[in-house]
Structure 1
Amino acid sequence: MASVGARLNLYNIIQRRRKTPRPRVFKDRSNPLEELPADEVFRKYRFRPDTILFIVGMFFEDLVHPTLRNSPLPPLLQVLAALRFVATGSFYNLVGESLGVAKSTTGRAARYVCRLLAGKAGNYIKFPRDVSSYKSRFFEIAGFPNVVGCVDGTQIKIKAPNVNEGEYVNRKGFHSLNVQMVCGPDFCITNVVAKWPGSVHDSRIFKESVLCREFENGHIQGMLLGDSGYSLKTYLMTPYLNPTEAHMQRYNTAHCRTRVLIEQTFGILKRRFSYLHSELRLSPQRACVAVVACCVLHNIGINRGDIISNSDDNDLNVAEDVIDGVVDMGGNGKTVRDHIARNYF
């Protein structure tokens, strides 16, 4: 009997020592768009209130999740969580604290909104139907004819992946994605390819892209400007590696002045979304989705006039990254380049 009583006493002691389950607490969720001035909203979320509400309206039905649970996260806070995440590149718990949202909820919201935005790439990242306006606006920059876009790749740093880790180490020695973009004269992104590891060369990305096939088949009338890392084609002009005559040097100068727009586009994109400056703590697949989502947001901002002032942007004048040249792999791109240099410069 004594042993039974001792066991009962021990059981009672253990029961008393057990922690009482912490009650679930529902925090009051504020609306930053109502509490903060427009400039402060722009600083925190990189867009002004009317553009944020426009983005919420784009996905409102997708962001309303039917549930029997209490206090579901409203669509506005889901979008704000995603915007705050890509604007700062901060951890989910810090982003969630600023909105009164749990870390796990913030992560799910940010990933889901990024997927929705990336799904709109076909609507917001594309060449205009009439490229004549692009040609005239590019020509006004430095007199370069028939240009419809500038192409280049940029390295987006990511954490070391678990699979095929070596393929993501670029020539500068860190893990990254090599993302190819094409921009228009207004810094709008007209094409993006975000799926290749950092070790892949720019010329290979372009050669295997849908955009290259469209130019090859004549679906896009005009030419792109690329650096010396690309193959010289009739539709892709690169600079002279060793200009020997004055018109060649003038051609190179005009080429550089025009092509710098893609470098400026990278600067504007990464300044708006600091997330792209730091190491993306995501798998390569999720990182690709997030990059495309940022490009869609970038174009939405330009289309709505919700942009960063160029006078405040320190990243616009980016030095040209000249690498070893690639010889012409076919066509008569050299003939076209010589013709342009002699007749226009």
Structure 2
Amino acid sequence: MEDFEEFEEFINYVYNDPYDYPARRYLRDASNPMECYNDVEFQQRFRFRKDTMVNTILPLTGILANENSRGLPIPPIIQLLVAMRFYATGNFQIDCGDRHKLSQAVACKIIARSRALALHVGQYVKFPPVNELAANKRKMFQIAGFPGAIGAIDCTHISIKNPDRERGEVFRNRKGNFSINVQLVCGPQMEIYDVVARWPGSVHDSRIFANSRCYMMFEEGTISGILLGDSGYAQTSYMYTPVINPRTQPEERYNRAHISTRNIIERVNGVLKRRFACLSRTLQNRLHNIPNIIVACVVLHNISITTNQELPSELIMAEEIPVAVIPDNERGSLIRAAFIGRHFT
């Protein structure tokens, strides 16, 4: 009995003395960002929380873990983090690969799989259903009192390297840089409803819209509401543009409400390019991969809205490319004048 009491006393001493027997430390894997960064550090570097990355984004990639370790396969989460690091920083592929001890060629192949995320554009980038349009119009009206608007439209330029000598000049925009002219339509919560990312930088905004699915939906009446665009678009029954030279107080009130409400698309451009800094730098990727990268970032942007990810601390103001002003036609002027008479007099 005495021996048992001595043994119990020794056990209590061993487990209760923190000085002679310190707690065993957990060694984190420095090559795995899921372990070596806390939640705040992880979101600063990859733009998403860990749970969203694992539970929402990883399943969209379609990357499956190998059943065996033959050929030293790269874990699916590491492949995703390589691509996300590129989206978030725009660093060279060799730098994104070095962080995980991967070659530039492997990092290039991983980033080229952005198509897997881009294929989900129909699921995450779409106009709200008909039963939600009324609530959408109320939210737009609360911004500056513009009635009937369901969204705002604009184009933003994504810089790229010169594709080649034969097609290079087609991609040169009005500022003399090579770019892709990307059309975006957004709603009141900065969610993106539509994206077109296949036109060269030299193409006018109005031409992109006239050849888009969004245009056909409004023309056919599938969507009921008003889009707010700048003077680079033609005034129609569903596209409302500012009055170029307002002469009356109702026209000035209309312009103020139009500009304040349409400012939401400018904010979306800034948030998108800050959250995914690769879009604010010159993309060095192959031309056929660039649209997939852009659309993948748009899909991720909408996921960040629905999952309440924190906004970037500093926003990038999208570079303004001068657009040729489209003069008002007679029918468009009459439609807008009647609208101003009903709502802004």
TM-score (norm 1): 0.85
Q: How far, CA to CA, are the matches of 1:262 and 1:246 in structure 2?
A: 26
**Would you say 1:69 and 2:70 are equivalent positions?**
yes
RMSD over aligned CA atoms reads: 2.0
Alignment of 1:90-101 (within 5 A): 90-101=91-102
1:181 alignment counterpart: 184
- Structure 2 spans left out of the alignment, 5+ residues: 1-28
1:206 alignment counterpart: 209
Could you tell me whether the CA contact under 8 Å between 1:231 and 1:238 is conserved in 2?
Answer: yes
1:104 alignment counterpart: 105
1:340 alignment counterpart: 339
2:89 alignment counterpart: 88
1:294 alignment counterpart: 297
Q: How far, CA to CA, are the matches of 2:297 and 2:61 in structure 1?
A: 19
1:276 alignment counterpart: 279
Displacement, 1:66? 6.6
1:233/1:275 Cα in 2 relative to 1: closer, same or farther (>3 Å)? same
Give the 3-state SS of the residue equivalent to 2:288 in structure 1: helix
Could you tell me whether the CA contact under 8 Å between 1:196 and 1:205 is conserved in 2?
Answer: yes
Bigger shift: residues 151-160 or 332-341: 332-341
Could you tell me whether the CA contact under 8 Å between 2:150 and 2:226 is conserved in 1?
Answer: yes
Q: How far, CA to CA, are the matches of 1:131 and 1:256 in structure 2?
A: 21
Displacement, 1:60? 6.2
Q: What letter corresponds to residue 343 of structure 2 in structure 1?
A: Y
Residue 235 of structure 1: which of 238, 241, 262 is its match? 238
Could you tell me whether the CA contact under 8 Å between 1:260 and 1:320 is conserved in 2?
Answer: no
Give the 3-state SS of the residue equivalent to 1:239 in structure 2: coil
Displacement, 1:106? 1.6
1:131 alignment counterpart: 133
1:140 alignment counterpart: 142
Could you tell me whether the CA contact under 8 Å between 1:51 and 1:306 is conserved in 2?
Answer: no
Alignment of 1:215-254 (within 5 A): 215-254=218-257
Displacement, 1:61? 4.5
Q: How far, CA to CA, are the matches of 2:320 and 2:262 in structure 1?
A: 9
Question: What is the aligned length?
Answer: 313
1:118/1:145 Cα in 2 relative to 1: closer, same or farther (>3 Å)? same
Give the 3-state SS of the residue equivalent to 2:99 in structure 1: helix
Q: How far, CA to CA, are the matches of 1:60 and 1:323 in structure 2?
A: 37
**Any idea what the Cα deviations from partners look like across 1:133-181, whole Å, max 9, x if unmatched?**
1111000011111111100000100000124111000000000000000
**Would you say 1:164 and 2:167 are equivalent positions?**
yes
Displacement, 1:320? 7.4
Q: How far, CA to CA, are the matches of 1:120 and 1:320 in structure 2?
A: 29
2:326 alignment counterpart: 326
1:110/1:314 Cα in 2 relative to 1: closer, same or farther (>3 Å)? closer
Give the 3-state SS of the residue equivalent to 1:62 in structure 2: coil
1:117 alignment counterpart: 117
Q: How far, CA to CA, are the matches of 2:194 and 2:235 in structure 1?
A: 19
Q: What letter corresponds to residue 172 of structure 1 in structure 2?
A: K
1:142/1:182 Cα in 2 relative to 1: closer, same or farther (>3 Å)? same
TM-score (norm 2): 0.85
Displacement, 1:43? 1.2
Q: What letter corresponds to residue 297 of structure 2 in structure 1?
A: C
1:14 alignment counterpart: none
2:33 alignment counterpart: 32
2:60 alignment counterpart: 59
Identity within the alignment, %: 40
- Structure 1 spans left out of the alignment, 5+ residues: 1-27
Could you tell me whether the CA contact under 8 Å between 1:194 and 1:288 is conserved in 2?
Answer: yes
